[in-house]
Structure 1
Amino acid sequence: MKIDPIVLGHNQFMGVNHLNQDSARSRVEKFSNFKNIGKIINYSLENDVKGLMLSTHPKTKEILEFLKSEEYIDDINFYPMLPYAQGYVRKANEKGIMGLFNEIFGSVSTSKKLKILIKGGTGAIQQDAAKLLTTLIDVELIPFDDLNVKAVFFHNVFADLALAFDSEDIFGAYIDHVKDQYDAVPAFGTFNFVRMAEKFDEWGFKKPLIMTSFNKVGFQMNPSKEECEEALKKYDTRIMAMSTLAAGYVKPQEAYEYLGSLKEIESVVVGVSTEEHAKETFGLIRKYLE
């Protein structure tokens, strides 16, 4: 399945900035007004950028409801990223297990709730991690029911943990479930691209879609920029580049000129917070990558 060459990231909408807390607080304030989110997404759609990545953050459900109300929803290709474990822990502490259950499922039909719970309960009894994972996928993708989901990303924290334990069965179960149940591309985030590419090749996982860091200064490229570039050429993978500006260390012109030199990169996920920023970013990506 073809994926979007440019995908809007979600960090700015969630108020995330990995280096600047003042900037993060400013984003929280700006994007607490969903109309500001709508402006960025509308501008992107008008410029033929239709991909949108959203983690299964608590704010995601509200964003999706807003997009439906503004009638943007049918024009967007979604790239959910899951699971959102931090949210589960916090909600369980705030509202208890039943409160957590009610909030996650919302208006989902009773029959679907029972189906998911039975499968998850069986997995827990059998200590079947793969079955528990597929249950978690079903729970977290509920807000995306009936939407155009192109790929489902396994969050880098969990993907790298499974990678550390050589958990071929976890990755295999994830791939099969996303393909069979959602007709979407199973995808993976990682900060360990070289190891993931090596292991997936060893396990026979063909042309995996991997979101990982590629930038001119080697920020978050492990074990090194050079080894990541070598692995990119050696292994048959599909790459969505992230951290392309190295958290602000690299100027956009330099960043996308560098990415353009890596012909194997298929897509770029970017965070934009203003129309001016979006115009510059989309133009440079198209100049050097498309």
Structure 2
Amino acid sequence: MTMDRLLFGDNQFFGVNHMSEEKARSQAMRFQSLDAVMSVLDSAYDAGVTTFMCTTHDRIAEVTERMRKEPARYAEQVFYPCMPYAHKYANAMAESGMIGSIRQFLPDEGFFDAAMRGGKSLAKKDIEGLTTLLIDAEMKMFEGLKTPVIFLQNVVVDLLLGLGFTEAFRIFADHVKARYGAEPGFITMNLPKLLDALDEVGVHNPIVCSNINKIGFRMCGGVDAYVDAMTNREFRAVAMSVYASGAIPPAEAIEWVAQLPNLKSIVFGASSRSNIESTVELVGRYWLAEGLKEGS
């Protein structure tokens, strides 16, 4: 399959900013209305950024409903859903604690209970049934829309890595392919370790999204380990946090990341037409030979 060089993210819509709480609050206030969100998405779409890599936040259901009503306007629109929505579970953690919150979302005797007991003979039907249930529930908002890649969020990916329940990655991949005809994607804060785990469970040439930037911002293992992986491992890399939340000037950030081997896409967030168009221009400049729409 082909992947666009530039993907539009949704952090700005939900008050997520890793460097500035004040900016995060300001953005959350600004994007309380659907019209404000759609204005920015329209700017991205009109600039040629037609893939929206988004969480399964309840507000995204409003976006998909609006786009379904205007199929001609959004004929080229593509979604890369990222599930589950992390902050939904984070809020539950704050209210009920780790064990209590997980029990809200998982059935009794589910795979987390087994993990907490240290059990290794996990019933296949339990984990497969739970995984497919969660995926299908969160995919309902995208019904009738193009979703060629479906991502598992890092809050789950990295938890499963830590627990050692990596078979869940294969189950997720198999269901996404069989049910939705989509490629499975994985978001992680530890690229090298995840690649090892995916190799072990037979998920080949995976799509993996991780922080990739020249100063090692939120890159577990450091820049050298990531560059080594991109040079020597078989996978399709999607880079996020390329600007390191504003710590790296845009041109410098894009120039550095664009020269890395095996990079397929960059995901970025922006809240204004000018910032979107600036990023499109930079990507066009440094990936000019292949173009904005010709990743593979």
TM above 0.5, yes or no, is yes
Residue 234 of structure 2: SS of its match in structure 1? coil
Report whether the alignment pairs 1:15 with 2:15. yes
Is the CA contact (8 Å cut-off) linking 1:187 and 1:209 kept in structure 2? yes
Query: Which residue is 2:147 aligned to?
Result: 149
Deviation at 1:200, TM superposition (A): 2.0
Conserved? CA contact 1:64–1:73, under 8 Å: no
* Equivalent in the alignment of 2:116: none
Contact 1:214 1:243 in 2 (8 A): yes
Q: Which residue of 1 aligns with 2:79?
A: 78
What residue is the counterpart of 2:184 in the other structure?
186
Counterpart of 1:141 in 2: which secondary structure? helix
Distance in 2, matches of 1:122 and 1:223, equals 34
Whether the 8 Å contact between 1:207 and 1:236 is mirrored in structure 2 is: yes
Secondary structure at 1:80 match in 2: strand
- Match for residue 55 of structure 2? 55
Output the CA distance in 2 between the equivalents of 1:84 and 1:41: 20
CA root-mean-square deviation: 2.7
Matched, 1:282 2:280: yes
Which residue identity lines up with residue 256 of structure 2 in the other structure? Y
Cα pair distance change 1:86/1:43, threshold 3 Å: closer
Q: TM-score, normalised by structure 2?
A: 0.82
1:151 deviation in Å?
0.6
C-alpha spacing 1:92/1:205, structure 2 compared with 1 (3 Å):
closer
Q: How does 1:261-280 map to 2 (within 5 A)?
A: 261-280=259-278
Partner-residue secondary structure (3-state), 1:282: helix
> 1:9, 1:271 within 8 Å by CA — same for their partners in 2?
yes
Name 1:41's counterpart in structure 2. 41
**3-state SS of paired residue (2:216):** coil
Looking at structure 2, the residues matched to 87 and 191 of structure 1 have their Cα atoms a distance apart, in angstroms, of: 19
SS of the equivalent of 1:35 reads helix
In the TM superposition, what whole-angstrom CA distance separates every residue of 1:85-141 from its partner, at most 9, and x where no partner exists? 5426858999xxxxxxxxxxxxxxxxxxxxxxxxx8997896722320111001011
C-alpha displacement of 1:152? 0.6
Partner of 2:241: 243
Letter in 2 for 1:224: G
User: Is the CA contact (8 Å cut-off) linking 2:47 and 2:276 kept in structure 1?
Assistant: no
Matches within 5 A, 1:150-229: 150-229=148-227
Q: Which residues of structure 2 form unaligned runs of 5+?
A: 96-106, 114-122, 292-296
Amino acid paired to 1:196: L
Residues of 1 paired with 2:67 and 2:230: CA distance? 36
Q: Rate the CA distance shift 1:93–1:269 in 2: closer, same or farther, 3 A.
A: closer
Which is richer in helix? 1
Distance 1:46 1:163 in 2: 39
Following superposition, the deviation at residue 83 of structure 1 comes to 1.0
Change (3 A) 1:74 1:256: same
Instruction: Give the drift of 1:73.
Output: 4.2
What's the offset of the Cα at 1:174? 0.4
How far residue 37 of structure 1 moved from its aligned partner, in angstroms, is 2.0
Higher relative contact order (CA 8 A, sep 6+): 2
The alignment covers a number of residue pairs equal to 267
CA distance, structure 1, for counterparts of residue 94 and residue 74 of structure 2: 33
Structure 1 counterpart of 2:28: 28
Residue aligned with 1:248, SS: coil
Separation in 1, partners of 2:110, 2:143: 23
Q: What secondary structure does 1:218 align onto?
A: coil
Deviation at 1:41, TM superposition (A): 1.8
Change (3 A) 1:242 1:83: same
TM-score (norm 1): 0.84
Q: Distance in 2 between matches of 1:155 and 1:190?
A: 7
1:91-102, aligned counterparts within 5 Å?
Answer: none
